[in-house]
Amino acid sequence: MKRPELLVTPLTVNDILPLADAGADAFVIGEQRYGLRLAGEFNREEVKKAIELAHGKGKKVYVAMNAIFHNEKVNELSEYIQFAAAAKADAIIFGDPAVLMTAKEFAPEMKLHWSTETTGTNWYTCNYWGRKGAKRAVLAREINMDAIVETKENAEVEIEVLVHGMSCMFQSKRSLLGNYYEYQGKVMEIENRKLQKNMFLHDHERENKYPIFEDENGTHIMSPNDMCIIDELQEMLEAGIDSFKIDGILKSPEYILAVTKAYREAIDLFFEDPDAYDDKKDELLAVIEEIQPANRPLDTGFFFKETVY
C-alpha cells in the first residue's frame, strides 16, 4: 500500500505554509476565468508565489483549468498554459479536451489531471482520458465505495477522490440570481457576489438549505450537507487510492486547517497501525463535528448510498 496524497484547496497565498505544516501534500489553485468552483481566487502573481512557497516545503501545486470554455476563450488557453508551465505548476486540471489538446502543443511535459466532476463514473472512461494524455482521473462525487474501489483496481491512471466538503448539485452558465435581482431593480443586493456566502435555496419539504454562489462561470447550487468520511477511509487506503481531496469552498481558513490536520492524522495512523486508526477514527470524526457549522450537517455523501438529496 502507498500513502495517498492529501490534496487541499486554500483560500489565499497566506494559507499555503500553514496548510503545508498541517500535512497537506498538494494544493489546487487558480483563477475563476479558467478554473471552476475554486475555494479562493489566485491571480498570476499569487499563483507564482503559491508555487514557490509550496515547492519550498516539498509540496505540489495543481492549477485549475477545468472551466467550461466557449470560443471566445479558446485562444487564451495556450498563453495561460505556458504561464502555468513557466511558473512550474506540477499539473493542470482540465475537463475540456481543448485544454488537453492545447497543452500537448504548448507544454507537452505538463502533467494533466482529468476532472469533470460528473462523468468520472467508471474505470474505462478514466483510462480513455489516460490514453489521451491525462495522468490522473478525478472521480465523480455520485458513485459509491464499491465503484470507487473497482475503478482503482482497473485504472491505468492515478485516481483522486473527494473525501471532505460540499458538492455542486447544479450549475448554470447564466447568472441566474444576478439576472433575477437586476430584473427587480435590486442589483445592489448582491454586490460583491463572488464573496457572498449567505445566499441559500430553501427546500422546506426536506428542511434543507442549499448554498448558492455566482462567479464568472455562472450560478452554482451546492449540497446542503458536507461530506466527511474521515472514519471510513480504510477501504480506499487498502485499495491504493492516489489522492484524497478536501474541498474548502465556502469555508474559513481555520476550518480548512483543522480538517487538514485531522485527515493527516487519520492517514498516518492507518499506515503506522490500522488498528490504531480504527481505535481513534471516531475521535477524529468528533473533532470535525465540533467545528462543523450548525447549518451544515455531516454525511457520507454517495459512498454508501445510491442517492442522498
Length of the chain: 309
Give all domains of the chain, ordered by start, each with its CATH number: 5-167+224-299 (3.20.20.70), 170-221 (no CATH)
Residues 61, 27 contacting (CB under 8 angstroms): yes
C-alpha distances (whole Å) from 161 to each of 99, 175, 228, 241, 284 are: 22, 29, 12, 8, 19
Judged by average pLDDT, the poorest of 46-55, 191-200, 296-305 is 191-200
The pLDDT value given to residue 241:
98
Local structure of 62: helix, strand or coil: strand
Cell of 212: 448558492
| 2 CB neighbour count, 10 Å cutoff | 9
294 vs 4, more confident: 4
Cell of 57: 516545503
Residues 122, 139 contacting (CB under 8 angstroms): no
Residues 160, 134 contacting (CB under 8 angstroms): no
- Whose cell is 494524455? That residue is 133
- Does residue 272 register a pLDDT over 70? yes
2 vs 221, more confident: 2
- Does residue 297 register a pLDDT over 90? no
- Does residue 195 register a pLDDT over 50? no
The pLDDT value given to residue 209:
61
Confidence class of residue 225 from pLDDT cuts 50, 70 and 90?
Answer: confident
pLDDT tens sequence across 66-96: 988 999 999 999 999 999 999 999 999 999 9
The pLDDT value given to residue 253:
96
The pLDDT value given to residue 295:
77
pLDDT tens sequence across 126-173: 999 999 999 999 999 889 999 999 999 999 999 999 999 887 655 555
309 vs 117, more confident: 117
By C-alpha distance, which of 215, 216, 114, 212 is closest to 170? 212
In the predicted model, what is the mean pLDDT of residues 25-44?
93
Helix (H) or strand (E) holding 233, with range, is none
By C-alpha distance, which of 102, 161, 154 is closest to 137? 161
Residue-wise DSSP of 165-213: E--EEEEESS-HHHHHHHHTT-GGGGTTGGG----EEEETTTTEEEEEE
Cell of 20: 503545508
CA 262/CA 228 separation, integer angstroms: 11
- Does residue 233 register a pLDDT over 70? yes
Mean pLDDT of the chain: 87
- Does residue 202 register a pLDDT over 70? no
The pLDDT value given to residue 188:
34
Contacts of 195 (CB under 8 A, 6+ apart): none
Q: Which residues pair with 172 in a beta bridge?
A: 219
- Measure CA 54 to chain center: 18
Confidence class of residue 109 from pLDDT cuts 50, 70 and 90?
Answer: very high
